[in-house]
Structure 1
Amino acid sequence: MKMLDYVVMANSRLRENLARAVELTDPLVKAFTASASATVRIVASGSSRHSADCARDYMQDILGMQVAVVTPEAFIDREHVFPRDAFTMVISQSGFSTNSIAALDFIRGGGCGEGVQSVAITGNPSAPIRDHADVVVDYGVGVESVDFVTMGVQTLVEFLMLFALYASHATGRISGERVDRELRCFESAFDAHAAALRACEEWMDEEKLTLSRRVPACVVGNGPNYGVAEEGALKLNECIKIAAMHSEGEEFVHGPQMQLTPDSLLFMLDDPRGSERLANLHAQFRTVTKGAFFITAHPRGIEGELAIPAPTNPLMCAIPNLVAFQYLAAQKTEELERWEMHPYVRALRDTIGTKADGYEDSIHALEERAKDQYGQ
């Protein structure tokens, strides 16, 4: 199985997980309701944190409460103090991330107060993370054997949103009718995701040479699309091996835009409900570089647009919009043969120590499971 296979397969997994949403979210909903907390804190790093940032606005809207997203380091150092008495969940998709394990140990050691449960969300409940958490929740990604997660990102965004939906209902904040409406919105998000797959395939063909530039890139987005920008920049960095930064819209035009040249790559994500400001900025930057692209659900017929449909609930826009960067990373890394990192960096992998012992063996085991399950 290749990375692009998982990019495409995510649509089926999203729909499968929606069909068993109650079962998937029930352990986390029960832990949340038992906590009687009025805020939520998500502790995560890398793609897991980006997924949380993609889901955060929807979660806050549906729960009617603050949802904070912090890294494990910041959590242990200072961000465990505020918000006070938050329901805290720690995410590690692999279940091997040493910084997430450290955050769980901090909670177990009384860092958030005596008697507070350590709650872990993972795609691999048999991983070492299980020994550091009181509650371990499998968010339902299934088998994804490529280290650069794609299907895992979308399914985690979906899971966090579904958790918020059912937790809000369980605590009496929303009605059953609202739940039913939101579930239909998820269906529209998956339809948009399928449309995005088709649009990105055409986009990659049309812009093949421009998108193959080995130059620094900027990825810009607001709200849920800020999480998309974070994940997009990461995929450009770790897969295609080009330097990439992420930014909010106005932060970008307060300095980072000064680096643009006619050779640059720039990806701007329109706001969920559309932004004339961002559209105008894109049109101006397009006069600097033909490598400027505008990802939007509100096409205006300007050059460089990639039209991806909007879900019924605009706060779910990250689910289809992530496809652009996942598709780009998967296809270009393969075409340009960029999978291998520099030997000096590769030599450091074991000494850097971001994963618990057994991680490489777990990847090999996933590859064998993928062959059995998917026949490839």
Structure 2
Amino acid sequence: MSAEAEIQQTVLGNIGDQQEMLQAAFDARDEFIAPFLEAFRAGPVSRVVFLGSGTSYNVSTLAASLFSRVAGVEGVAPYPTEFTHYGAGLDPAHTDPSSILCVGISQSGTSISTCEAIEHAKSSGYRTLALTGDTTSRITTIAETVTPLLVGLELTGPETKGYTASVLTVYLWAFAVAKETGALDAAEADSGIAAAGEVAAQFKTVIREAEEWYDRNRPSLLHSSRLNILGYGADHATMLEGVLKVAEMLRVPTIGNLVEEHVHGPTMALKFDHATLFIGSDEAEFERMVSIRDAIGEHAPGAHIITCRDFDGADDRDLVFSVKANTYLAPLLYTVPFQFLAAKGGADVFIDTNVNPIPIRFGHYKDE
């Protein structure tokens, strides 16, 4: 029996390990920043195309936003199959392909759609880079540059610390590139990077407060006939990851939407026993989001705000983290309550989250 087979991991155990993992990854950040910068410097970059499926797609959408908004380099995140078969994410103009950097994100390195997308990108003349937790996996035989995802072992099916490790990675990439391009001056970029280390060092508090939020709201959350998860801005990705985690583990009807789009039709289906979870990014829509929460709460009281930002009217339904993070780093925190809702909620209703109810491996190469 291999050493890995002897390790008995649980999703809840992996959630609890996230501070140690994040601190270790932050301390060793040159291992994944240096090769990325080297690939970036190899020639002019007109666009970075982030490619991943599942949790890695959610990370890709955040990465695209960070590169566009922080690094001053256009970032896009098409689905890998849409990129491979239909050219999604590519400039319809005849841009020099060597100026486009395609980044494949796959924790296992065996995602079929991502490996095929990177193979297609490479054969089409695009520059390619892989971010993976297994630096001997299939994707590493395809991409020109490989950067390690410093997540350690995650042997459970649903990925939790893999997501947070990936968020930390793309956040640090964006600030390192911003320093390189001059989108931020050196002091601003270094401050943004240091902020990640400060949050990593306080992550046990994030984990504790997220679990306390779940525990005090457990009865209403678990008795909801539907969960609505709403985000905006940088936390579009957090919304997607929240929906995915709940689908993987709690397995109840769940929809995700942007806050503003949710009031253009979906609220017509609102029922008293629906829970609505708002991700309160510190961005332009925050006050509008609070107003919408208050209005929805009059009809379905299970309306919760998850945020780092203090606001009037917060109550026990809400989670206002005592750990504060900037707009672009906060997604690292906001996924944790959804991890507890999914994993601890699943355990509380006797779901074995390590067992796939459809035991067919669709998305990964079967021999790896």
TM-score (norm 1): 0.86
- Change in Cα spacing, 1:150 to 1:106, as seen in structure 2 (3 Å) is same
Unaligned runs of 5+ in 1: 360-376
Provide the residue aligned with 1:234 in structure 2.
244
Q: 1:46 aligned to 2:60?
A: no
* Structure 1 range deviating more: 219-228 or 191-200: 191-200
* Structure 1 range deviating more: 330-339 or 161-170: 161-170
- Change in Cα spacing, 1:224 to 1:174, as seen in structure 2 (3 Å) is closer
* CA–CA distance in structure 2, aligned partners of residues 341 and 19 of structure 1: 31
Higher helix share: 1
- Change in Cα spacing, 1:82 to 1:306, as seen in structure 2 (3 Å) is same
TM-score (norm 2): 0.88
How many residue pairs end up in the alignment? Answer: 351
Provide the residue aligned with 2:349 in structure 1.
336
- Change in Cα spacing, 1:70 to 1:193, as seen in structure 2 (3 Å) is farther
* CA–CA distance in structure 1, aligned partners of residues 146 and 79 of structure 2: 19
- Change in Cα spacing, 1:309 to 1:67, as seen in structure 2 (3 Å) is farther
Q: 1:295 aligned to 2:306?
A: yes
CA RMSD of aligned residues (A): 2.2
Q: 1:355 aligned to 2:364?
A: yes
* CA–CA distance in structure 1, aligned partners of residues 104 and 354 of structure 2: 29
Q: Deviation of residue 3 (structure 1)?
A: 0.6
Provide the residue aligned with 2:287 in structure 1.
276
* CA–CA distance in structure 1, aligned partners of residues 10 and 157 of structure 2: 10
Provide the residue aligned with 1:59 in structure 2.
67
SS at match of 1:337: coil
Alignment of structure 1 residues 47-196 onto 2, 5 Å? 47-76=55-84, 77-82=86-91, 84=95, 85-110=99-124, 114=125, 116-190=126-200, 193-196=203-206
Contact 2:66 2:328 in 1 (8 A): yes
Instruction: Give the partner amino acid of 1:44.
Output: G
* CA–CA distance in structure 1, aligned partners of residues 34 and 347 of structure 2: 39
Q: Deviation of residue 236 (structure 1)?
A: 0.9
Q: Deviation of residue 346 (structure 1)?
A: 1.6
Instruction: Give the partner amino acid of 2:337.
Output: A
Q: 1:314 aligned to 2:327?
A: yes
Contact 1:228 1:318 in 2 (8 A): yes
* CA–CA distance in structure 2, aligned partners of residues 300 and 194 of structure 1: 26
Which of 33, 44, 47 is 1:36 aligned to? 44
SS at match of 1:70: coil
Instruction: Give the partner amino acid of 1:301.
Output: G
Q: Deviation of residue 75 (structure 1)?
A: 0.9
SS at match of 2:151: coil
Identity %: 22
Q: Deviation of residue 206 (structure 1)?
A: 1.3
* CA–CA distance in structure 2, aligned partners of residues 34 and 19 of structure 1: 26
Alignment of structure 1 residues 241-256 onto 2, 5 Å? 241-256=251-266
Q: Deviation of residue 312 (structure 1)?
A: 4.3
* CA–CA distance in structure 2, aligned partners of residues 78 and 107 of structure 1: 10
